Amino acid sequence: MGMGEVQAGWGQIVTIAIMAIALGMDAFSLGVGIGMRGIRLLHVLQMGLLVAFFHVLMPLLGLVAGNYVGHLLGRVAGIAAGGLLVALGCHMVLGSFRVGESNEMRGMDHRTLWGMLLISLSVSIDSFSVGLSLGVFVSHVLLTVLAFGACGGIMSITGLLLGRRVSRGLGEYGEALGGAILLGFGLLFIF
């Protein structure tokens, strides 16, 4: 293995880590909002585990589909993947400034299993799109989905716990930051 291959491998790992954190920002921001309404520690753990599970499952499905599409379309798939990340990043940034959209999910009853499943799935849907984009060029599938799951779960738990103690504005900034990171990576994929 040459020095260039090692550097390319580390570049992919750093990219995966940054994207995992960016995707976790959505779970973090939602966690802050839910935590501010009051949540038991058992529910914090349950929701964190569900978010981690969906942050593994959704990008895994996206990676498989993206890998298939990447083989079919070649370079065009890379540009499409970048465009998808740009659109997702813009959606997250704009969504962080909309009061009604994020409060809808925060209004769901997080104490029921159905509510926890829907909330966890809602913050993990974005990871399918990112997985689809990453499936075009990523070779470390297991590392990618485990990083997404770990970051999603940890950031969800952190947001829920912090939400019990901090102001509402922190969550909105977290979602905007995550969207900006995905937007940046989308532009890198395209150019």
Whole-number pLDDT of residue 103 = 43
Q: Which domain holds residue 43?
A: 14-190
Q: pLDDT-based confidence at 123, cuts 50/70/90?
A: confident
Domain annotation covers residue 8 = no
Q: State the pLDDT at residue 4.
A: 53
For the beta carbon of residue 83, count every other beta carbon within 10 angstroms: 15
Beta-carbon count within 10 A of 137 CB: 15
For the residues of 56-77, what is the DSSP string, one character each?
HHHHHHHHHHHHHHHHHHTHHH
- Examine residue 7 and state whether it is found in any structural domain, yes or no: no
- For 44-76, write each residue's pLDDT tens digit: 999 999 999 999 998 888 888 877 776 666 666
In a domain, 44, yes or no: yes
Residue 6 lies in a domain: no
| Least confident range of 6-15, 17-26, 114-123 | 6-15
Residue 4 lies in a domain: no
Total of domains in the chain: 1
In a domain, 9, yes or no: no
Least confident of 33-37, 57-61, 141-145: 33-37
Instruction: Using a cut of 0.85, tell me whether the model's pTM lies above it.
Output: no
Question: Residue 173 domain-assigned?
Answer: yes
The answer to whether 110 and 119 are in contact (CB under 8 A) is yes
In the structure, what pLDDT confidence band is assigned to residue 107 with cuts at 50, 70 and 90?
Answer: very low
